[in-house]
Chains A and B, each alone.
Chain A
Amino acid sequence: MSSRDTILQRLRNRSGGNLTAPNCDFSVLERPDWPVSERIAMFEKNIESVHGEVHHCTEETWLDRLAEVLSTRGARNLLVPKEHEIGLKLRSAVEREDLPNLLIYDEPIESWQSVLFNDVDAGITSTRGGIAETGSLILWPTADEPRLMSLVPPVHVAVLYASDIYTTFHEAMQVQDWGAGMPTNALLISGPSKTADIEQTLAYGVHGPKELIVLIIE
């Protein structure tokens, strides 16, 4: 008999008899329906408490803020999506001198891995929403915005629409109907990469980005 069948058979022929499944009441996770402004405030407070940086922008001002943020960090280049409107808008601003070099992730990682790991200073991605209660960003990487964009460069800039901020993870999942199907990879990101493995002392950027910058568009 295969190991699979051995294991399943042992579980099915349980000597203690059948187990009854208790009911699960999720109402303890429910929160009042907060107005957007309060959700923004809570999101901001929570993500800042884990070292995330928030900038309030509008459709008109986010490019300026981004340019500012990147130049204070001396970023030489920025990885941008090819198709997403964020990428399109950035690329149409080529004449701007305050923006760093724009790079596009449009080849399989194998062909440019060492460049990505060693020479890219920052990456910008869209988000699928935010979670106020925990200060989290929801990311569903795609062919246009691959997984490593938000992981390898030392600075990750995320664009978040204020209207997409949910109060809880539970709410976000229900409203966006995640149960209907998941992408190959989905993420909640709450702050930059960190560790406390050395005597409980916090250090940032241990494997992923050292900085997480969120542009909230209201």
Chain B
Amino acid sequence: MSETAEHSPHHIDVKEFHPRAQAAIHNPKIRQNFRKAMDGLMTKRKSAFEGWDLETLRDLGANIRLRALANLPDLLEQLEQKLTENGIKVHWAVDGDEACRIVRDICKARDAKTVIKGKSMVSEEMELNHYLEEQGIEALESDLGEYIVQLAGETPSHIIMPAIHKNTDEISELMHEKTGTDLSHDVEYLTASARLQLREKFMNADVGVSGVNFAVAETGTLCLVENEGNGRMTTTVPPCHIAVTGIEKVVPNLEDVTALLALLTRSATGQHITTYFNMISGPRKPDELDGPEEVHLVLVDNGRSSIYQDDELLDTLRCIRCGACMNHCPVYTRVGGHTYGTTYPGPIGKILMPHLIGLDEGRHLPTASSLCGACGEVCPVKIPIPDLLVRLRQESVDGDKLHPAKVRGHGAKRGAVEAMVWKGWSWMHAHPGMYRFGTSMAARFRKLQPGQIGGWTQYRTAPKLAPKTLHERLKERGQ
């Protein structure tokens, strides 16, 4: 496995959630940028569904995803067969490292020096850019938001709007510093400058890399949803196109896509539809004058097949990556995406990432929620996110063997003191004499009770013990 070792991504420590959250809460700029953006997105989403029977549509969305998952292995085989018939080469990767190596090998075979990339969350999962740079291949993001984030040497803070944490001033300064554009508040000017810079890159790139929103097994079609046209450029101009996707993105029929697309764009940005809905079913044919000569699809597992084993956790795989759950999350809205330190932030990140990185590393994620339920309410495919959060919370402190754990690192959040307290608690409840003695002692010495009880009293006052136990009071009443 020496090849795995060469891929050594620069990690943000997920465990540092709390200090980062504190810092974000005290940063007025971050809070302002997110508040403004998320308020706007919530309003737009709401009006985009006006006149729709939203509940029925969400049921359909959930059923389409469940049906696809129920037939997942067959669908993947059908997809592979159709794509191959269409002239698209299919590759399989058990994890991100293998997926990176597959991309590298395709690039090497073409002697490629430069890669231009459309937005793809799976490639963030794989840390593909970093890997390619290590291999001496330049990887440039072509989505404006991703481009800005890349200039800043950062990672995306939102799955739909990567640069949402920055305001125009910050972006203007960044572009000025890195690309020499004039300092300007004019978004048109900044956008036009980026267009110019990237046009050159599109023309000269050897390979284009994109994600996939839906992969249709029936016709062997890869669907991409975007507004800018960078996705079309990336998949059309370079002579070779490599699409990367998680194995869960397959759906049986084109018809399924019509419903999912309606849900996706409205939930994400409140648009009825995006500017471009791009359906790719093959490389350039001999008589065609443009389009890539070669098209590849890399199917990435990276932990998905283990999520697939569990009936409840499986729901996570329904996700169509619309980002609505983060837009509506009171925690995300205040601390922003970088605080999580994970590829997928917000509610979906809190239930997806523990699978990918383990509960030991991601143990703060399931607790970073008020359990208000907003995420579950807006999710277009009805993923019961709050239920899954509770389940993962339980697994993260579960020290007993009652619930066979499914997620790596279960019990990681269980502290020694807490474990002892609970053990004592359950022992006392099993011994009535000790229980009565214990509670009456607690009532008698209640003045000694500490005023601060760890995290509990951070935002609440400590509960006070009653002067008499319930048993004693009932006895007095002669019952």
Contacts and interface: CB of A to CB of B under 8 A. Distances in A.
B232 A208 contact: yes
A21 B229 contact: no
B297 to A, nearest CB: 12
A185 to B, nearest CB: 6
Contact of A7 (B254, B269, B305): B305
B278 to A, nearest CB: 6
| Chain A interface, DSSP helix/strand/loop, else mixed | loop
Nearest to B253: A179
A3 B73 contact: no
Interface stretch (B10-18, B184-192, B409-417): B184-192
Interface stretch (A69-77, A88-96, A198-206): A198-206
A109 B289 contact: yes
A38 to B, nearest CB: 15
A195 B272 contact: no
Interface in A1-35: 2-4, 6-8, 10-12, 14-16, 19-26, 28-29
Given A11-B305, A186-B281, A208-B232, A22 B66 contact: yes
Residue picked from B86, B144, B283, most chain A C-beta under 10 Å: B144
Interface string B269-305: 1011111111111111101111100000001010001
A84 interface: no
Interface in A184-218: 184-201, 203, 205-209
Nearest to A207: B229
**What is the size category of the interface that chain B forms with chain A?**
35 or more
A28 B58 CA distance: 10
Interface string B168-180: 1001000000000
B199 A184 contact: no
Nearest to B87: A184
Contact of A179 (B36, B219, B228): B219
Interface string B236-276: 11000000000100000111101101100000010111111
A22 B281 CA distance: 28
B236 A22 contact: no
Nearest to B187: A201
A194 B275 contact: yes
Contact of A197 (B163, B203, B258): B163
A195 B60 contact: no
B247 A7 contact: yes
B145 A197 contact: yes
A181 B220 CA distance: 9
A205 B198 CA distance: 13
Contact of B144 (A7, A23, A206): A206
A195 B308 CA distance: 36
Given A7-B301, A197-B143, A29 B259 contact: yes
B314 interface: yes
A117 B94 contact: no
B175 to A, nearest CB: 10
**What is the size category of the interface that chain A forms with chain B?**
35 or more
Given A193-B229, A195-B227, A198-B190, A187 B305 contact: no
Contacts of A113: 203, 237
Contacts of A191: 275
A200 B281 CA distance: 33
B53 interface: yes
B259 A183 contact: no
Given A16-B309, A24-B63, A183 B281 contact: yes
A4 B92 contact: yes
B279 A186 contact: yes
Interface in B75-95: 76-77, 86, 92-94
B70 interface: yes
Interface in B185-211: 187-188, 190-192, 194-195, 198-199, 202-203
Given A21-B67, A186-B279, A190-B273, A170 B144 contact: no
B434 interface: no
Nearest to B62: A22
Contacts of B154: none
B42 to A, nearest CB: 13
A20 B236 CA distance: 39
B276 A188 contact: yes
A167 to B, nearest CB: 12
Given A7-B92, A201-B168, A148 B281 contact: no
B311 interface: yes
Contacts of B60: 24-26, 28-29
A161 interface: no
A182 interface: yes
Contact of B228 (A28, A133, A168, A194): A194
Nearest to B273: A134
Given A8-B77, A23-B63, A113-B203, A182 B219 contact: yes
A2 B126 CA distance: 20
Given A184-B281, A184-B285, A208-B228, A148 B275 contact: no
Contacts of A189: 275-276
Contacts of A142: 288
Contacts of A141: 288
Given A10-B306, A133-B272, A198-B191, 12 more contacts: A8-B73, A16-B311, A20-B70, A29-B259, A109-B290, A148-B290, A168-B258, A187-B277, A188-B277, A197-B163, A199-B167, A201-B187
Nearest 5 A/B pairs, CB to CB: A208-B229, A197-B145, A207-B229, A19-B70, A21-B70
22 contacts: A3-B93, A7-B305, A8-B76, A11-B308, A14-B309, A19-B70, A26-B60, A26-B255, A28-B56, A29-B258, A29-B259, A142-B288, A147-B232, A173-B258, A181-B219, A186-B279, A187-B232, A188-B276, A198-B144, A199-B168, A207-B142, A207-B199
